[in-house]
Structure 1
Amino acid sequence: MSSPDKVFDALASTTRRKILAYLRDRPLHAGAIAARFDMSAPAVSKHLSILEGAGLIWKRREGQFVLYGMDQGNLAGHLWAFMQEVCPPSRTLRREVRAEHEAGEGQPPEARRAE
């Protein structure tokens, strides 16, 4: 499993986000990925290596070709874990809002009297 730092470092590059978009629907061979960019094959290979190191894509050798695919569950898992780490107060806030609502707080005085 990769660290959140590796994931966000990988996602910081427009080129790498484009690669993920190309891999979203189906795996592609390295040559097909490289053909979509105006850069050298080694440069594209470096981007693929960073994405793989972050656990966002997988690769499989097929004879003399290398097939790459997106690990969608891993990307979603990393983003969900990050949101849970960054937003833990959300549960507390929901409880507070629910308690206020049940107590009638935050409503106009007329609404509280009607209850």
Structure 2
Amino acid sequence: MGETNIFKVLADKQRRDILVMLKDGRMNAGEIAEKLEITPAALSYHLKLLKGADLIMEYKQKNFIYYEINATVFEELILWIGQFGGGRK
């Protein structure tokens, strides 16, 4: 997925909130929905977009699906943004 889609996905505050929650480690959908106070259907939509942009990964463990940040994509995004010379004079 290209940077354009990543920026579209990151434009939504709830999706950014999900990423902030996941920076501390894996969480399952129930935990995320409870903290955000949103319905499972709404959360499913946000998780689908985050997964589609490769910003999160999912892991199945028994009856639960856990989500965590895909740090590789963020590292690539930082490198891409860095090409615009932040800090150069």
> TM-score band (shorter)?
0.7 to 0.9
Counterpart of 1:9 in structure 2 is 8
1:83 CA drift (Å):
3.8
Q: For the pair shown, which has the larger CA radius of gyration, 1 or 2?
A: 1
Counterpart of 1:73 in structure 2 is 72
**Quick one: which amino acid aligns to residue 40 of structure 1?**
T
Kindly report structure 1 stretches of 4+ aligned residues shifted beyond 4 Å: none
1:62 CA drift (Å):
1.3
Q: Which of structures 1 and 2 has the larger relative contact order (alpha carbons within 8 angstroms, sep 6+)? A: 2
TM-score, structure 1 normalization = 0.69
Structure 1: gaps (5+ residues)? 98-115
Structure 2: gaps (5+ residues)? none
Counterpart of 1:18 in structure 2 is 17
TM-score, structure 2 normalization = 0.87
RMSD: 1.6
